[in-house]
């Protein structure tokens, strides 16, 4: 039955509108978002997309208009759009599905139409990468679809019998060549808008997650603890208006809960146990979404929480707890909350791994201090006691003062240092040590101090100056028959203080100088290498020891530390 061009255009427009409505509703499904929006490229995802666009092609054929033994249809819209958006595999697959369906319908153009559909899908798929380079430009999509539909009409034109083919092409070509490319352009533009909306949502979630991470970083430095977890939960709840409650758990218990339902979810409540869905997130290491109260799993009769997402928190790929975001309404966990939870989970996991590394670093540093203390204690103690015993017979007052200095020295030396100490404390420790050594070596040892006023604004690692002074005495001055002088000084350089221990002893040659700071566990004296490594780890490479020495002239050891409150300007690579 012959139809006027206007009737064909009208019916074809309705066909394309119905197809577009199908795309719109499919875009709201989880499957579509998982495949199309999140960019999954597994073979299962590509097969699913091929089937999806193939079905859209079948829709276009099924609602086509029979004309002159053929169909005026929108089959090409789904097939070409699939190829352009998802590539050759999807284009070819959807073309085969829609083409086979067209072939089974029969008619004198069945075979040519089926092959044309397959070729359109494949050609569109091959053009897909160029479309992505053009940021899914709908004019480009329209142009590709226009060319492919013109080629489709040319193939129909040569289908036998030629007279009937000519009548068919004259009846359907104008409408299909004009409208199908417009339909393809509309579908591509819509799919891109969905993709862009998802990207904007991800960007918003990422921005909020980074703001939260900036506030929670200091709290997570000591790992997952109840006090820090409570503050983290409060921060997340205050930053995200769409959430009604937030929880943080370890592997076996709730560490913190903030928001609606705190009366029976808080760690202080006996009912505060990890629910089944949260346990699944811990056991599998995969996020878990619960969209109704039954899936949430709270056994409290009047619990107001209707939906949640639980994401695992990991250290070195091992799940150590979860972050749980709650909402009161059922089916209310949206793509935004999912992206936010995943982003926060990754950031918090990274923070926990960094805190573990920092904790191990502190343990190592403390172990090195213990090794240094253990090395100092025996030989120094015996020498000090011998010196004091001598003065007990000759000068009781000096012996008394030396005992006080020895007590002060060991009191400081035995302290469990957890961080930095102010420089004045470190200097007092050096003075206690030096007073005993001066009593031993008498006129062979002179100590001079020259510190700038900014010294009070500097913090240093414990046991950082005393090993330098001891090294200067033992290896610089004692080998020299007449002894010598050690000078401790400081000077300001921009936002740093340069500290220096200098002696006028025997010095060392260049070859020896290069080996002094090399860590060697077999070496009896580990003082200088220990100090150097601790300074570098705390303040950066610029803070490492700088050694200058001239044989028979002396040695100068210096290092720089930031003024209190200033950031380290160069990290140690």
pLDDT at 381: 64
Helix axes 5-26, 162-216, angle to 10 degrees: 30
d(CA 561, CA 569): 10
- Residue in the block written with tokens 């099924």: 62
Listed as ranges, residues in the chain with pLDDT below 70 are 1-5, 29-41, 132-136, 199, 202-203, 221-222, 268-273, 353-384, 390, 408-419, 519-527, 564-573
* pLDDT one-digit tens code per residue, 2-37: 446 677 787 888 888 888 888 888 777 666 665 555
pLDDT at 525: 46
Residues 6+ apart with CB under 8 A from 465: 426, 427, 429, 430, 488, 499, 501
Question: In this structure, what is the dihedral angle of CA atoms 411, 412, 417, 422, given to the nearest 10 degrees?
Answer: 150
d(CA 373, CA 481): 29
Burial of 98 (0-12, 13-18, 19+ CB in 10 A): buried
Number of Cβ within 10 Å of residue 527's Cβ equals 21
Identify the H or E element spanning 173.
helix 162-216
DSSP-assigned beta bridge partners for residue 499? 490, 559
* pLDDT one-digit tens code per residue, 359-379: 555 545 554 555 455 455 555
Domains defined for the chain, CATH in brackets: 5-201 (1.10.1760.20), 216-345 (3.30.450.40), 441-573 (3.30.565.10)
pLDDT at 120: 94
Helix axes 162-216, 138-157, angle to 10 degrees: 160
pLDDT at 567: 45
d(CA 401, CA 424): 21
Global confidence as pTM: 0.47
Dig out the tokens for 343 from the structure: 């982003």
CA 136 to chain centre: 29
Task: Determine if residue 240 is left, alpha or beta; phi over 0 gives left, psi from -120 to 50 gives alpha, anything else beta.
Answer: beta
Peptide bond into 158 cis (omega under 30): no
Residue pair 32/54 in contact (Cβ under 8 Å)? The answer is no
């Amino acid at each position: 039955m012959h139809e006027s061009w206007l009737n064909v255009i009208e019916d074809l427009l309705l066909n394309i509108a119905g197809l577009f409505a199908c795309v719109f509703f499919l875009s709201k499904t989880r499957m579509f978002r998982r495949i199309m929006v999140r960019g999954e490229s597994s073979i299962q995802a590509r097969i699913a997309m091929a089937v999806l666009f193939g079905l859209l092609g079948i829709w276009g054929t099924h609602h086509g208009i029979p004309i002159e033994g053929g169909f005026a249809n929108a089959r090409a819209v789904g097939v070409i759009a699939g190829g352009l958006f998802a590539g050759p595999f999807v284009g070819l697959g959807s073309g085969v599905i829609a083409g086979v369906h067209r072939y089974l319908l029969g008619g004198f153009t069945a075979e040519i139409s089926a092959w044309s559909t397959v070729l359109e899908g494949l050609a569109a798929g091959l053009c897909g990468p160029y479309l992505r380079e053009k940021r899914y430009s709908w004019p480009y999509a329209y142009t590709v679809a226009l060319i492919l539909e013109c080629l489709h009409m040319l193939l129909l034109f040569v289908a036998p019998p030629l007279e009937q083919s000519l009548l068919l092409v004259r009846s359907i070509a104008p409408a299909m060549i004009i409208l199908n490319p417009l339909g393809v352009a509309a579908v591509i533009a819509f799919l891109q808008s969905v993709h862009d909306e998802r990207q904007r949502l991800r960007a918003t979630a990422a921005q909020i997650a980074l703001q939260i991470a900036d506030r929670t970083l200091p709290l997570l430095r000591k790992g997952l603890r109840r006090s820090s977890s409570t503050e983290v939960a409060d921060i997340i709840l205050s930053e995200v208006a769409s959430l009604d409650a937030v929880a943080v758990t370890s592997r076996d218990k709730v560490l913190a809960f903030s928001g609606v339902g705190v009366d029976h979810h808080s760690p202080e409540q006996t009912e505060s146990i990890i629910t089944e869905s949260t346990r699944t997130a811990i056991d599998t290491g995969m996020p878990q979404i619960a969209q109704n109260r039954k899936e949430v799993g709270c056994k409290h009769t009047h619990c107001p929480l209707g939906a949640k997402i639980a994401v695992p928190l990991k250290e070195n790929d091992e799940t150590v707890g979860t972050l749980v975001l709650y909402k009161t309404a059922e089916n209310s966990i949206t793509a935004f909350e999912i992206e936010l939870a995943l982003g926060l989970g990754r950031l918090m996991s990274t923070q926990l791994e960094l805190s573990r590394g920092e904790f191990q670093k502190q343990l190592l540093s403390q172990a090195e201090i213990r090794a240094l203390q253990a090395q100092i204690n025996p030989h120094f103690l015996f020498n000090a006691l011998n010196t004091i015993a001598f003065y007990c017979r000759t000068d009781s007052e000096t012996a008394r003062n030396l005992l006080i200095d020895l007590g002060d020295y060991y009191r400081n030396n035995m302290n469990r240092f957890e961080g930095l100490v102010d420089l004045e404390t470190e200097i007092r420790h050096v003075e206690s040590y030096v007073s005993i050594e001066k009593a031993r070596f008498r006129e062979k040892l002179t100590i001079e101090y020259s510190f700038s006023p900014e010294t009070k604004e500097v913090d240093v690692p414990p046991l950082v100056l005393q090993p330098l002074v001891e090294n200067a005495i033992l290896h610089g001055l004692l080998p020299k028959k007449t002894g010598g002088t050690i000078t401790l000084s400081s000077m300001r350089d921009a936002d740093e203080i340069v500290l220096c221990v200098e002696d006028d002893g025997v010095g060392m040659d260049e070859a020896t100088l290069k080996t002094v700071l090399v860590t060697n566990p077999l070496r009896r004296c580990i003082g200088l290498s220990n100090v150097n490594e601790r300074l570098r780890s705390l303040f950066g490479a610029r803070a490492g020891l700088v050694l200058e020495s001239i044989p028979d002239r002396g040695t100068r050891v210096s290092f720089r530390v930031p003024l209190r409150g200033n950031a380290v300007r160069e990290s140690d690579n």
